[in-house]
A and B are shown apart, each in its own frame.
Chain A
Amino acid sequence: MSFPVLDVQGLAYAYPDGHQALFGVNLHVHQGERVALLGPNGAGKTTLVLHLNGILTAGKGAVAVSGLPVTKDNLLEIRRRVGIVFQDPDDQLFMPTVRDDVAFGPANLGLRGAELDARVASALEAVGMADFADRPPHHLSFGQRRRVAVATVLAMEPEILVLDEPSSNLDPASRRELADILRSLDVTVLMVTHDLPYALELCERAVILSDGVIVADGPTRDILLDEETMRAHRLELPFGFNPATLPER
């Protein structure tokens, strides 16, 4: 039996100030899936994401990545396996050049020399940013920075790519280019988003996190068409967008 790439069991967490964000989350993501994590603001999405690579430690319950439990001893391997792309690329890209930034992760894993260069080159290639390796990140457009942020994580060859609001602040062309890139990658994806058409376009499966628990889990199209559940959890389709009228994928 193979392990799910992501196995979250009964995860509960309260912040040190007493605010409880998660109340027993169960979530499994299997190899090759692309899953959208939907939910209103304050639902606990970011808190959940920060548990996946051990930035936050579960108050109760457990997280395992491809069978490896997220514990203090495994942190480096867990962080290799779970690649998180944060919402603001300026938070993610902090090195003087694109190349150095993409090299940061694999270098932390101990890669050096030609092997490191090859990782950097292939990650930049995968997001179409190979020509920008020597540029400082702040000279790039926002869409380019977001793509480099994806590359910084791809260079670690993760088993699951976790994207926090990947389409936010992107113009429509950059948004589509990023979708093309994400589709071209052979990697499991968990995508936190408010952009429901984007979720439908990229993810065959969606889960809704609301008030710290998973309240719905199923094919994205069915979830988006379930008006009652959607309304109950402050989720709304954008004006004029009707998944029912779109052709089946």
Chain B
Amino acid sequence: MGAPHGHHLHWHGHSPIHRLPAHVKLVSLLAFVVTVVATPREAYWAFAAYLLLMLGVWVASRVPLGYLARRMVVEVPFVVFALLIPFVATGPRVDVGPLSLSEPGLLAAWGILAKATLGVMASLALATTTEPRDIVAGLEHLRLPALMVGILTFMLRYLDVVVGELERMRIARESRGFRATSVRQWPAIAATTGALFIRSYERGERVHLAMLSRGYGGRMPLLHETSTPASAWARGLALPAAALLVLVAAVVLR
């Protein structure tokens, strides 16, 4: 929130990754993540291979690596969770300096950390190279139910409007001397939230009226009928295909 227009992940560019159709990227992301998650965590070299593949995608997207790396902080809660496991898990223990750690716990932590990191890297590659509305269009193309596509579309469209309203209400509140410094002021914030809900609800009704007025009959018209060239699929699926090869090798060589 607060970032202009809520597009704070997208990095404008024209790399081959940017140009891939969103639905191809979505399928590619899903296939890659499933492959990574299916990989046995003892196959350490496989994860190194995935990491190389993913770094290759990052470089190909021409999004500055620092920009991507900073956005990896979204993973921190998982990291904390993973770091706790060796302390609380049971089983045979190893001593690392003054600490006594659980061996299965260490392995579990490694698995979570490696898989989550690769998943976040892949998601970032999608998010930085694809406009939010293209992602929604991609989901629509992949036959996500129309109702859910509708909800996502409206959320994207009205997020800024609602945030703007919230901001104006905050300014109006503070202009009358309000400062949220103690718990006693929470009721005012709760009232703001309630007012915002009512306003958004009423706006929803007005939007619906405006839609009806333009002949809306309960079904969004399909405006974009695009065909995807096989070459786009081939390029887009190269990443999960390579990952799958790694997985097969990891399983066979075990």
How many interface residues does A have (CB within 8 Å)? 33
Which listed segment binds B: A133-141, A166-174, A204-212? Answer: A133-141
- Of the candidates B158, B206, B221, the one whose C-beta lies within 8 Å of that of A86 is B206
Residue of B nearest to A92 (CB): B210
Q: Which residues A93-116 have CB closer than 8 A to chain B?
A: 94-97, 100, 103-105, 107-109, 116
- Of the candidates B136, B161, B221, the one whose C-beta lies within 8 Å of that of A90 is B161
Kindly supply a per-residue 1/0 record for chain B positions 192-218, scoring 1 wherever the CB is within 8 Å of any chain A CB and 0 otherwise.
000000000001001101111111110
Q: Which residues of A contact B221 (CB under 8 A)?
A: 103-104, 107-108
Please give the distance in Å from B209's CB to the nearest CB on chain A: 6
Q: Once the chains are docked, how many angstroms separate the CA of A100 from the CA of B140?
A: 15
Q: Which residues of B contact A84 (CB under 8 A)?
A: 210, 213
Kindly supply a per-residue 1/0 record for chain A positions 145-172, scoring 1 wherever the CB is within 8 Å of any chain B CB and 0 otherwise.
0000000110010000000000000000
Q: Which residues of A contact B74 (CB under 8 A)?
A: none
B153 interface contact, C-beta 8 A = yes
A76 interface contact, C-beta 8 A = yes
Q: Once the chains are docked, how many angstroms separate the CA of A88 from the CA of B136?
A: 25
- CB-based contact B157/A94 at 8 Å: yes
Q: Which residues of B contact A55 (CB under 8 A)?
A: 209, 212-213
B170 interface contact, C-beta 8 A = no
- CB-based contact B210/A86 at 8 Å: yes
A53 interface contact, C-beta 8 A = yes
Please give the distance in Å from B224's CB to the nearest CB on chain A: 8
- CB-based contact B217/A138 at 8 Å: no
- CB-based contact A91/B203 at 8 Å: yes
- CB-based contact A96/B223 at 8 Å: no
- CB-based contact A76/B207 at 8 Å: no
B124 interface contact, C-beta 8 A = no
Contacts A86-B206, A107-B223 known; A95 to B157 CB distance under 8 Å?
A: yes
- Of the candidates A91, A97, A108, the one whose C-beta lies within 8 Å of that of B210 is A91
A interface, over-half SS: helix
A215 interface contact, C-beta 8 A = no
A79 interface contact, C-beta 8 A = yes
A80 interface contact, C-beta 8 A = yes
- CB-based contact A91/B160 at 8 Å: no
Please give the distance in Å from A192's CB to the nearest CB on chain B: 14
A225 interface contact, C-beta 8 A = no
Q: Which residues of A contact B207 (CB under 8 A)?
A: 91-92, 94
B154 interface contact, C-beta 8 A = yes
Q: Which residues of B contact A137 (CB under 8 A)?
A: 157
- Of the candidates A50, A86, A88, A103, the one whose C-beta lies within 8 Å of that of B223 is A103
Please give the distance in Å from B213's CB to the nearest CB on chain A: 5
Q: Which residues B17-37 have CB closer than 8 A to chain A?
A: none
Contacts A86-B209, A91-B203, A100-B223 known; A108 to B157 CB distance under 8 Å?
A: no
B156 interface contact, C-beta 8 A = yes
A contacts, CB < 8 Å to B: 50, 53, 55, 76, 79-80, 82-84, 86, 88, 90-92, 94-97, 100, 103-105, 107-109, 116, 136-139, 152-153, 156
Known: A86-B206, A91-B206. 20 other contacts (CB 8 A): A55-B212, A76-B215, A80-B215, A82-B213, A83-B213, A86-B209, A92-B207, A92-B210, A96-B136, A100-B223, A104-B216, A104-B223, A105-B215, A108-B214, A108-B215, A108-B217, A136-B133, A137-B157, A138-B5, A138-B161
The 5 closest A-B pairs by CB, nearest first: A107-B221, A108-B215, A105-B214, A96-B133, A91-B206
B contacts, CB < 8 Å to A: 5, 133, 136-137, 153-154, 156-158, 160-161, 203, 206-207, 209-217, 221-223
